[in-house]
Amino acid sequence: MIIPKAPKLTPEQLAEVRKIAAEFDCEIGVVVGANRNIYAILGDERRELLLNRLEGLLYIDRIDTVDAPFKLMDRRGALSRNVIQIGGVQLGKSPLIIAGHCTIDPKEPGLFYETAAAVKEAGAHVLRGGVWKPRTMPYSYQGDDGALNILVEARARTGLPINLEVMDSHQLDLALKAKADMIQIGTRNALNYTLLKEIGAKTAHTSTLILLKRGRHMAPVNEFLACAEYLAANGNPNILLCPRGTLPTLDTYRNHPDESITPLLKEKSWAPVIVDPSHSVGHIEYVPACALAAMAYGADGLCIETHIHPQKGIGDDPRQAIRPSTLRSLIQEVEQIHKFQNRFKA
């Protein structure tokens, strides 16, 4: 919908608008109001160049588009029937819990195996373990290809599907060779369109799920969904959207918790929402409340850093990983909220 700055376009301006629209096979319908006219774009209004050309006209105030710019992730699109399953859970039917270390310590494989068994016992459905880590400082532990074997071994021992983050082609190829069940795209790479395209294409037509974290600087919900659109457009629509906190941070919290965008994501897209409370608040004692808040907002599940001995962990684990015993009681509360919400919906 085109909104002019003046109450109506002059005949010359309308002719110019119609000429531009025609180049994109669109027509213009005039909606005559009591005080001002607005102008409907009839046809596919999603093309960026069409909108940019119109918005560049000095007499146009703004354009409000009716169609979502993301065709595949749109809740009203054909993919809304896409059923995503992993670890015995059908997304939407019951809550999905992803749990495990932020970082696998390659020198302490036993710790990871213990955590893997404990999170399974607590009720988690997917085992997470960081093999390669995006770190703020180049001197911090960066990860180790060898940790992938530990993750794969933990899958064999527990039967839980595995999730790990990849940041480049080398890591992606190794993860796919290891038949990773879920690939995480971290907050720093959420806007790395080249990587999004590659991951979408290399996992196209497979059962690999993608956990797409929300970028720390990503403000509009549409920008987040556009990143998911990259994955779907390149062949893999099995996407879980993961709010994990944004900047600027809230005093004492690691980020600005953003679980409250869950209903907005769900209103616009069919994709399940899995909230990461660990990176949102960044401290053990606040994680459970954030997790429950996410469920109250309608999340389909959680990704929670959990460690058998947080203080022996590396990466984020000493300060933000909860223990499996906490995970176990949290899962029970999460299930109750989910049930309550389903009853509420019916």
For residue 256, give the nearest of 247, 264, 267 by alpha carbon.
Answer: 247
Least distance between Mn ion and beta carbon 279 (Å): 6
All residues at 6 or more sequence positions from 159 whose CB lies less than 8 Å from its CB, including other chains: 120
For Mn ion, the closer CB: 2 or 102: 102
Q: Which residue is nearest to Mn ion (CB)?
A: 102
**CA 93/CA 287 separation, integer angstroms:** 24
Among Mn ion, ligand PEP, none, the one that 158 touches (CB under a kind-dependent 5 to 8 A) is: none
| Lookup: tokens for 161 | 């599907």
Reduce the DSSP state of residue 259 to 3 states and report it: helix
Least distance between ligand PEP and beta carbon 336 (Å): 26
Please, which of residues 159-188 interact with ligand PEP by CB under 6 A? 165, 186-187
Cα dihedral sign, 58-62-65-69:
positive
Choose which of 60, 102, 126, 166 interacts with ligand PEP (CB under 6 A): 102
Indicate the pairing of strand 60-63 with strand 2-4: antiparallel
Least distance between ligand PEP and beta carbon 112 (Å): 14
Give every strand in the sheet of 162-165, ordered side by side.
239-242, 209-213, 182-185, 162-165, 126-129, 96-101, 301-305, 274-275
- Cβ atoms of 127 and 87 within 8 Å: the answer is no
Least distance between ligand PEP and beta carbon 83 (Å): 26
Read out DSSP for 268-296? Answer: HB-S-BEE-HHHHH-SGGGHHHHHHHHHH
Using rule CB under 6 A, residue 134 touches ligand PEP: yes
Least distance between Mn ion and beta carbon 320 (Å): 7
Least distance between ligand PEP and beta carbon 225 (Å): 18
**CA 33/CA 143 separation, integer angstroms:** 62
Peptide bond into 134 cis (omega under 30): no
Among Mn ion, ligand PEP, none, the one that 202 touches (CB under a kind-dependent 5 to 8 A) is: none
Please, which of residues 313-332 interact with Mn ion by CB under 5 A? 316
Choose which of 2, 97, 102, 183 interacts with Mn ion (CB under 5 A): 102
Among ligand PEP, Mn ion, none, the one that 214 touches (CB under a kind-dependent 5 to 8 A) is: none
E-assigned strand segments in 33-81 = 37-42, 60-63
Among ligand PEP, Mn ion, none, the one that 186 touches (CB under a kind-dependent 5 to 8 A) is: ligand PEP
Please, which of residues 230-259 interact with ligand PEP by CB under 6 A? 244
Choose which of 130, 277, 282, 313 interacts with ligand PEP (CB under 6 A): 130
**CA 345/CA 338 separation, integer angstroms:** 11
Number of residues that bind ligand PEP (CB under 6 A): 11
| Lookup: tokens for 310 | 């947080």
Among ligand PEP, Mn ion, none, the one that 125 touches (CB under a kind-dependent 5 to 8 A) is: none
Choose which of 213, 268, 307, 338 interacts with ligand PEP (CB under 6 A): 213
Residues that bind ligand PEP (CB under 6 A): 102, 130, 134, 165, 186-187, 213, 244, 276, 279, 316
Residues that bind Mn ion (CB under 5 A): 102, 316
